[in-house]
Amino acid sequence: MILEVKAINTFYETSHILFDVSLTVDRGEIVCLLGRNGAGKTTTMRSIMGLTPAKSGSVQFHGEDLRSRPPHYIARKGMGYVPDNRLIFPDLTVRENLELGYKVPKDFAGDPWTLDRIYQLFPILAERQRQHGGTLSGGEQQMLTLGRTLMGNPELLLLDEPVEGLAPLVVKDLGKQILKLKEMGQTILFSEQNVKFATMTAKRAYVIDKGRIRYQGSIEELRTNQEIREKYLMI
């Protein structure tokens, strides 16, 4: 097991947002955290990454509790985070954005990501490599953010609503690229409200609503659980 989140409680000032949230991710898995807007998905991802630290509980990465650690420490341990607002550098070229993300962790094993490998995964970025990031479409910016994060060679990739606001064709393409990452052995936890995208890419899911985990199980089980789908996902 790579990641084990145990009963975390997270607050924004005095507002209690997450209530005893627990989840796990095993090596090589793609796991999805599903929920509607405001359900607690982004807060969960930010709590794992240390950006909005939980007040209680634990976030264990390879058995080490990272709950009180700063985000840069967590990143160095092997987590990569793609936020829902992308945060590219609009005045830098695609290539420069990617190069800024490059690092190889001290204990990294395997073939590190390079520009050429990123361009093979996202051919459109190779075509756009001399363009400024701010001139890209929303889908291209999402690919750029994902590519820049991969350049840090994370063991665990956290994606916060990766297809929010993207056209259906772009969503389909991004799903294929995420499945390619799984074939390469990349471990991924992503949050999403697009159930179709989640069922296309993940094998296991958690459903969160009002800051509490309401369901955990396989995607196949979720497909047949009409009560959960109607009550918490409005399907």
pTM for this prediction: 0.94
Q: What is the CA radius of gyration of the chain?
A: 17
First to last CA, the chain: 31
Amino acid in position 221: E
Burial of residue 109, with CB atoms counted within 10 A of its CB: 0-12 exposed, 13-18 middle, 19 or more buried? exposed
The pLDDT of residue 28:
94
Q: Report the C-alpha gap between 71 and 50 in whole angstroms.
A: 5
**pLDDT tens figures, 129-154:** 999 999 999 999 999 999 999 999 99
The pLDDT of residue 108:
78
Q: Is 34 helix (H, G, I), strand (E, B) or coil?
A: strand
The pLDDT of residue 51:
97
The pLDDT of residue 188:
97
**pLDDT tens figures, 3-35:** 999 999 999 999 999 999 999 999 999 999 999
Residues of the chain with pLDDT under 70: 235
Domain 1-78+188-235 is of which CATH architecture?
Answer: 3-Layer(aba) Sandwich (3.40)
The pLDDT of residue 235:
60
DSSP per-residue codes, 146-190: HHHHHTT--SEEEEESTTTT--HHHHHHHHHHHHHHHHTT-EEEE
